[in-house]
Amino acid sequence: MQLIILGPPGVGKGTQSVLIAEKLGLIHLSTGEILRDAVAKGTPLGLQAKSVIESGALVSDEIMIGIIREVLTKEEMHKGFILDGFPRTVKQAEELDALLDELNYDNIRIVYLSVPKDALVKRLTKRGRKDDNIETVLHRMQVYKEQTAPVREHYKNKGVIFEVNGEGSIEEINSKIIELLAA
């Protein structure tokens, strides 16, 4: 199974991805970790990403999809993986769709975790991270709405997305996702 977890900031994508990976024996692919790993290893794309990151800009879709390609072409990925934090734009989603097709991945599931905005703001501002103040959180929500929310519609239009209510305990949400994936 190839699983993509989508949802707004603070919805619990990372937490659920780790739990699902453990329960289903999938490889957890966090795009943040993949990016940091490529930079640390000094791969050609990692070096490009490093210079972009150091300038304070966002890594381009082309660099990100290239780094994702490097990872997904590894043989062990055919045993199954969870992609957490990617795609973030419709262009990335379209590129990822083409890449998964090219690499003959044929058991792709997409789960969208949804939580009302006010609950997410409350959740994010209570985490205690330095960058989780109300202004930063609201800005991240706006960026998500503009750039990433359309990815949900992209997959909805293709009829390949499962929506899960992300409210409740970590265990309750996890059980809903596992149940959905088993169906």
Residues labelled as active-site residues: 13, 88, 127, 129, 140
- Looking from the CA of 105 toward its CB, the CA atoms found within 13 Å total 24
Cβ-Cβ contacts under 8 Å for 128 (sequence gap 6 or more): none
At 161, is the secondary structure helix, strand, or coil? Answer: strand
The helix (H) or strand (E) run that includes residue 111 is strand 108-114
The helix (H) or strand (E) run that includes residue 28 is strand 27-30
